[in-house]
């Protein structure tokens, strides 16, 4: 696992899972799904017994589609007791950001809150969300398609469909349209139309 640089991260939270005796750290990152590999890893230069971690990763070289998606990364480590907090470093505007993240408690991994239907991480346990998650009926699902198996073309098709399906009145031109990519698939042969499909949810 390599860590060439820090990545921007928010909604960082940490949980002590009592039945597994593990601390789980969760963060949201914005990254290119094609070029970026992002993870949480221990700070290699931290002095024991400090609990310090990095939201870091690598970006591969070459030409890639100009895409940014939101995803959740996590890391777990064994612990007999619940630590008061952990330190998490991520990228900032001019310098690394240092967050002291309080550790809350859950009974089992099954109680760790899942991503909501927009792919967002939940707030820490014990704190009510600022905004309720959208109802399934409020979500707009689109499927982009590229007959040439181009990821960029399929994403652009999904964005165009999302823009057309978002409710009236016309959107503020200063407010962008974004999609959360749920899965990517491709097929050819038989009676199906060959090409690349990108299934996404618009917001």
We report the CATH number of the domain holding residue 173 as 3.30.1660.10
Is the pTM higher than 0.85? The answer reads no
Per-residue pLDDT tens over the stretch 10-25: 889 999 988 888 999 9
Residues 157 and 92 in one domain: no
Residue with tokens 């165009």: 160
Domain tally, the chain? 2
* Domain-terminating residue out of 65, 96, 111: 111
Q: Would you state the pLDDT for residue 128?
A: 43
Q: Would you state the pLDDT for residue 192?
A: 77
Residues 49 and 87 in one domain: yes
Residues 51 and 145 in one domain: no
The number of helices, as runs of H, and strands, as runs of E, in the chain is: 1, 11
Domain contains 120: no
Residues 94 and 141 in one domain: no
Domain contains 125: no
Domain contains 74: yes
Per-residue pLDDT tens over the stretch 23-69: 999 998 888 877 888 889 888 888 766 789 999 888 888 777 777 78
Domain contains 40: yes
Residues 147 and 99 in one domain: no
Residues 26 and 93 in one domain: yes
* Domain-terminating residue out of 77, 111, 145: 111
Per-residue pLDDT tens over the stretch 120-176: 444 444 444 444 555 554 578 889 899 998 989 988 898 888 888 776 555 555 566
Residues 98 and 9 in one domain: yes
- Rounded to the nearest 10°, the torsion over CA 34, 73, 78, 106 is -150
User: Residue 163: left if φ>0, alpha if ψ -120 to 50, beta else—which one?
Assistant: alpha
Geometric angle at alpha carbon 123, from 11 and 107, rounded to 5°: 120
Find the domain containing 63 and state its range. 5-111
Domain contains 121: no
Range 86-112 average pLDDT: 84
């Amino acid at each position: 696992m390599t860590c060439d640089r820090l990545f921007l991260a928010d909604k960082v939270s940490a949980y002590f899972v009592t039945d597994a005796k593990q601390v789980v750290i969760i963060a949201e990152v914005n990254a290119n799904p094609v070029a970026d590999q992002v993870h949480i890893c221990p700070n290699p230069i931290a002095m024991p017994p400090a609990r310090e971690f990095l939201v870091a990763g690598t970006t591969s070289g070459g030409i890639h589609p100009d895409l940014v998606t939101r995803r959740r990364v996590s890391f777990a480590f064994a612990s007999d007791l619940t630590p008061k907090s952990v330190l998490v470093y991520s990228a900032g505007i001019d310098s690394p950001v240092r967050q002291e993240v309080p550790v809350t408690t859950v009974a089992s991994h099954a109680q760790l809150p899942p991503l909501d239907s927009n792919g967002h991480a939940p707030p820490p346990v014990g704190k009510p969300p600022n905004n309720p998650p959208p109802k399934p009926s409020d979500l707009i699902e689109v499927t982009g398609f590229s007959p040439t198996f181009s990821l960029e073309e399929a994403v652009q098709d999904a964005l165009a469909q999302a823009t057309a399906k978002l409710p009236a009145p016309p959107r503020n031109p200063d407010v962008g349209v974004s999609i959360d990519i749920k899965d990517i698939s491709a097929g050819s042969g038989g009676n199906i139309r060959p090409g690349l499909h990108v299934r996404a949810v618009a917001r």
